[in-house]
Amino acid sequence: MGSEKSGLTSGLYNTFYQIGSAIGLAVMVAVAGAASASSGSADPIAA
């Protein structure tokens, strides 16, 4: 790959890495929220 395209490639890689990280974090937060909501206790220490 030519040096003129290395900047574009790096930018695309970083963009997709950030998007993937954000989606992964959103999924983990949703799963944790669903798990804590289904525990039936309002006290986080008792869960």
**Alpha-helix residue ranges (DSSP H) falling in the chain:** 3-37
- 41 pLDDT higher than 80: no
pLDDT band at 21 (very low <50, low <70, confident <90, very high): very high
Task: Give the HSE-up count for residue 30: Cα atoms under 13 Å, Cβ half-sphere.
Answer: 6
The whole-number pLDDT of residue 44 equals 60
Non-local (6+) Cβ contacts of 19 within 8 A are: none
Q: How far apart are alpha carbons 37 and 46 in whole angstroms?
A: 13
8-state DSSP, 42: S
Determine the average pLDDT of the residues in 13-40. Answer: 90
Q: How far apart are alpha carbons 13 and 11 in whole angstroms?
A: 5
